[in-house]
């Protein structure tokens, strides 16, 4: 068992469950007299029944691979499983003069990739159901000049591989060409071919983003560089289409988790980049070391955070509706009463969705307390990268943010130091 492919082990487990279910159903529906009769049946008949059930379950869970490899007498042909993190030889056959081969293996739990290997040549295909796939090839051109039937997905993978191999061949020609003019022309041709390849791949992906061919297209390389990159905006839509389809239909698949996490990271990275650009632009335009906030208080008087420049300012994002707000507000008031006359101010942004609650409480607040009409959906959550509330920023007299989310003890120490 330990040498079996993981999918084979799972299949054995399913077979056992299958047999048990059959027996339970039989024992439930047959009356007691028939059950007594079955008990006295010969063991051989019962064994035959179990074997038949096992064969029935097992046949439904296998894929078959047949075909011919010409002009490869005496060579060994390997069937290889190409998983996300490991490669495993499943079976092999020494080719006779006819070159015929036949393999059978448990079908994978999810669409996955396999290959036939002949010496240093690899022919890649995919399996996504209980298929019978036929491959006809020959020793020369084994990896590309073959015909495949029984798997539409694998024919698409063949097209993708042949296209990339043709591009790689042209790149090799460029390396060997010393003539500047012809090199330039060949490079332009390569760029054109890459664009044509990606156009073909895009159509294939949108045709069925759930297919193994769509996944395969995203991970193809030319000159050791991926053709599709989720960190590039133009490519991300296609990467996201596959990631979404896989996550919808196969959320537990390791390949799903891999591509989904990659796309999500790319999206987060872009958002961080956009936020940073926005931050840099605002800082550049305002001449201060923070993003300015301009919001109204409960009397509809607008307050600019930048108006407090020259003072030590605590920028506070919080909500009066939170359970801890009473004690939190008392702690803020203590700081304010101690240091306000020395040049300390609080600029509080309420994230309350309940406008009436905010208006009632803020009337008794001595510092600046403002609120966006969007409530907790204010744009400043993103620009200040707010993930939890309360969140605080301490700004020194020069207008630079010098601390974030300190404890009240640490905060008081730093306020005294900068006043």
pLDDT < 70 stretches in the chain = 1-60, 271-289
pLDDT of residue 41: 46
Report the CATH number of the 294-418 domain: 3.40.30.10
Are 217 and 244 spatial neighbours (Cβ–Cβ below 8 Å)? Answer: no
Chain segment 79-131, per-residue pLDDT in tens: 999 999 889 999 999 999 999 999 999 999 999 999 999 999 999 999 987 78
Going by C-alpha positions, the residue among 272, 370, 282 that lies closest to residue 320 is: 370
Instruction: Find all residues with CB under 8 Å of 246, minimum gap 6, and list them.
Output: 209, 210, 215, 253, 255, 256, 259, 260
Q: Please report the sign of the dihedral spanned by the C-alpha atoms of residue 153, residue 158, residue 161, residue 167.
A: negative
Q: Domain residue spans in the chain?
A: 6-59, 62-150, 164-266, 294-418
Peptide bond into 390 cis (omega under 30): yes
Q: How many whole angstroms separate alpha carbon 2 and alpha carbon 8?
A: 10
Angle at 318 between CA 316 and CA 322, to 5 degrees: 155
Helix axes 180-207, 233-249, angle to 10 degrees: 30
Within this chain, domains 62-150 and 294-418 share the same CATH topology: no
Chain segment 380-406, per-residue pLDDT in tens: 887 787 888 899 999 999 888 888 888
Q: How many whole angstroms separate alpha carbon 264 and alpha carbon 269?
A: 8
Instruction: Find all residues with CB under 8 Å of 321, minimum gap 6, and list them.
Output: 352, 353, 354, 357
Going by C-alpha positions, the residue among 122, 41, 30 that lies closest to residue 78 is: 122
Q: What is the topology classification, in CATH, of domain 62-150? A: Immunoglobulin-like (2.60.40)
pLDDT of residue 90: 96
pLDDT of residue 282: 53
pLDDT of residue 89: 96
Are 376 and 370 spatial neighbours (Cβ–Cβ below 8 Å)? Answer: no
pLDDT of residue 285: 53
The gap from C-alpha 156 to its chain's centroid, in whole angstroms, comes to: 23
Tell me the residue ranges of DSSP E strands in 167-227: 221-222, 225-226
Question: 274: left (phi > 0), else alpha (psi -120 to 50), else beta?
Answer: alpha
CB atoms under 10 Å from CB of 273, counted, come to 11
Is residue 244 packed enough to be buried (19+ CB in 10 Å), middle (13-18) or exposed (0-12)?
A: middle
């Amino acid at each position: 068992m330990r040498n079996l492919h993981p999918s084979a082990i799972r299949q054995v487990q399913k077979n056992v469950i299958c047999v048990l279910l059959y027996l339970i159903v039989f024992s439930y529906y047959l009356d007691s007299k028939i059950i007594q009769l079955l008990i006295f049946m010969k063991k051989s008949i019962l064994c035959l029944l179990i074997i038949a059930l096992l064969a029935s379950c097992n046949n439904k869970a296998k894929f078959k691979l047949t075909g011919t490899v010409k002009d490869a007498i005496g060579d060994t042909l390997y069937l290889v499983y190409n998983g996300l993190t490991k490669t495993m030889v499943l079976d092999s056959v020494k080719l006779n003069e006819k070159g015929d081969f036949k393999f059978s293996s448990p079908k994978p739990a999810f669409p996955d990739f396999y290959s036939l290997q002949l010496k240093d040549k690899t022919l890649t295909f995919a399996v996504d159901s209980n298929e019978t796939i036929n491959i006809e090839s020959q020793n020369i051109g084994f990896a590309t000049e073959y015909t495949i039937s029984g798997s539409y997905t694998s024919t698409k993978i063949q097209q993708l591989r042949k296209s990339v191999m043709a591009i790689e061949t042209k790149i090799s020609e460029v390396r060997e060409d010393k003539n500047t003019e012809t090199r330039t022309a060949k490079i332009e041709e390569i760029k054109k071919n890459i664009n044509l390849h990606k156009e073909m791949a895009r159509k294939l992906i949108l045709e069925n983003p759930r297919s193994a061919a769509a996944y395969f297209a995203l991970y193809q390389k030319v000159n050791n560089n991926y053709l599709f990159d989720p960190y590039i905006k133009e490519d991300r839509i296609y990467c996201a289409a596959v990631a979404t389809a896989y996550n919808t239909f196969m959320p537990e698949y390791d390949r799903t988790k891999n591509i989904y996490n990659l796309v999500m990271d790319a999206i987060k990275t872009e958002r961080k980049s956009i936020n940073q650009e926005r931050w840099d632009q605002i800082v550049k335009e305002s001449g201060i070391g923070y993003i300015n906030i301009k919001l109204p208080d409960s009397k509809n008087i607008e307050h600019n955070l930048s108006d407090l420049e020259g003072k030590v300012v605590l920028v506070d994002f919080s909500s009066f509706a939170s359970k801890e707000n009473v004690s939190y507000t008392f702690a803020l008031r203590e700081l304010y009463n101690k240091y306000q006359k020395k040049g300390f101010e609080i600029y509080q942004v309420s994230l309350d969705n309940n406008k009436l609650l905010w208006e009632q409480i803020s009337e008794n607040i001595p510092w600046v307390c403002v609120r966006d009409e969007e409530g907790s959906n204010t744009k400043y959550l993103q620009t200040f990268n707010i993930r939890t509330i309360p969140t605080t920023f301490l700004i020194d007299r020069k207008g630079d943010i010098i601390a974030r989310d300190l404890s009240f003890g640490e905060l008081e120490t730093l306020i005294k130091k900068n006043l």
